[in-house]
Structure 1
Amino acid sequence: MKPTDALRPTGAATSLSGPTAVGGPGLSARLVVERDAFQLDVSLTAAPGDVVALLGPNGAGKTTALRALAGLIPLSEGHLRLDGTSLEHVPPESRPVGVVFQDYLLFPHLSALDNVAFGPRCRGAGKTAARAQAAAWLERMGLADHADTKPRHLSGGQAQRVAVARALATRPRLLLLDEPLAALDARTRLEVRAQLRRHLAEFEAVAVLVTHDPLDAMVLADRLVVVEHGHVVQEGAPSDIARRPRTDYIAQLVGLNLYRGRADGHVVRLDAGPSITTTEDLSGPVFVAFPPSAVTLFGDRPTGASARNLWRCEVAGLESHGDQVRADLTGRFPLAADLTTVAAAELDLHPGAAVWATVKATQTHAYPA
């Protein structure tokens, strides 16, 4: 069997109860869910082969969106179409959807082989055929030697791969992954992330990944959809979002200082605070971003310096980042600055210390808001 043969749909969609054919291949959804004081209103589209990451802070609505896609939460409004079939009224067990849950939810009393075979059995495959499919998937995942192993004897990375194999064994047209790497330690996460990237690259249907980890999203997804307070605030290719964040949350994720203001040529008057000089020549509402590493700190106001971007700040806090120190600065122009531990010691940085911060215009990036 070729790797892609096992991913091609067979008759999964024909088992839906009362399907309505509309539209083309891939995913087209507007997910509106109202629960108490919270409302989710998120639109998603994806072509077969796309990996879309829903990224956002806790409570943003990511998991609610995933559960709505799986049919575990009913839509209040909107639509959900997969490969031209309307799924709003199709029960979860009849949808051509595979799910990898955050805690994997493997059946503890079943072996790895029977965990993977469970999906095909539920879709009508006989025991022998289901176990044969499961064995093929475990071999693809590098787990052929663990076919008889119970979940409690699997490592975190092995359990994650069994969960992915179980989801893929049903040949889904939509694969949902809910924080699939969250339960792993840092070292295992690095290895499993690379393996998951390879499996997703081979997947010919739509995959939707829910995560709060920007690295998982950037590495695994073709497109990011950033959700805050139940709504999409930005979407696009990972590189575009990393370069042009549009909210404070996204800027913090990608490690940038972000400000909003109005540009008049090379000068941007910020909505709150002073002006900042950039190399871009723009007009109207803009964002200005620069990395903490672009900031230079001085204990006293630098003399003879021609820097136009010069501000007096106060140290609010310090945090170690490997061999660097991240300084959280407040004042008329709050910002984050990265410097070496040696430089921090020479400046005698401590909470409450006054410093001067400069940023070269060439190290800023301005773009329309």
Structure 2
Amino acid sequence: MEKVVVNNYGSFDVTFVKAKGSTMWDINKKKYIDFIAGIGVNCLGHNYKPLVKAIAKQAKKQIHISNYFFSDVGICYSLDLLEQTGFDRAFFGNSGAEANEAAIKLARKYGFLNGGAKRNTIVTLESSFHGRTLATLTATGQDKFHPDCFAPYPVGFKTIKANDFESLKGAFDDTTAALFMECIQGEGGVNVIDKEWAQAAAKAARDAGAIVMCDEVQTGIGRTGTFLASDALEINPEVVTLAKGIAGGIPMGACLFRGKAKDVFVAGDHQSTFAGNPLACSAAEIVLAVVNNEDFLKDVVNKGDYIRNIIKSWDLPIVKDVKGKGLMIGTQIVDTIKPFDIEVKCLEEGLCTTTAGKDVVRFLPPLTISYDEIDEGLKIYKKVLESFCK
């Protein structure tokens, strides 16, 4: 494949041909348990019948129209999503990076309208990750994503240390347009943001005249056990970005606005050709209907606790910590072992995992994963971890 597709992903030599639930099969009919769900995308698992049916039905009616017009399914989905989240306006895109670009542009315009050209700084967190475009890379608080080959980077971003109250002193002033943060840092290492700190940071930002924005590309749509992770932090952000699981596998992103942010964008400020098309919205409507359920979200919490508690019970010397919330799970590994090596070995044994930060093996299984699939995957995971203890 490298002869025809640029291998920016460092892809493994595995070709999948079919999947069901949280189980996949490759071209050689080898079975795998899926603990990453396309990196948090396939939130309802593979081949989820209501989702497949809705996509097929919509494809027969209408796949795409210009955003100069409205679609019936787009209007219905927008109203349902806003009602569920408590936001006033939505902008749709095709990915998390696009949703975050929209948030960045809105923050810059908000700052300009409420302080002039000097209010243009966006404060993000160390170890954060916000996307692969130049602006979202710059917003990302990890030096490894800022190689010289992509310079110069956009200006107007600064980072502070998460969960550190000292970092809030002097962090915000009349040049600050927004605080932009993940509620749990996914790629950065499954780092949970402390509720008390998040509330203090949000207050400090707002006291300085800035708005609060949450990147929920990975944590949103029930991933952490509440529909939005920011709901649990109780910081009421003016802007939230969504993607990954929002449409169960169809490319889609969203940027939601309320309060001071709801009327900032006007016609022509930000647009996207494919964004929010009928096919994507039909898929997203199914996801919303399934995830927007108290029992379903409790099940996400219970499954996540089940996985974390089992890994902790193994008491293996290579495991330093088990982190996360809901079905966003990280196993912190001792410095002498590379998480990537564990990922490779898991794949060889039939378990799909991924990594985060410098020392974490990360799980983002489908929210619909069964306990039988969890047990089968954990059996493989324990075997792999034990092999590194020898």
Q: Would the TM-score normalized by the shorter structure come out above 0.5?
A: no
Structure of greater Rg: 1
Larger strand proportion of the pair:
1
The structure carrying a bigger helix percent of its residues is 2
Structure 1-normalised TM-score? 0.29
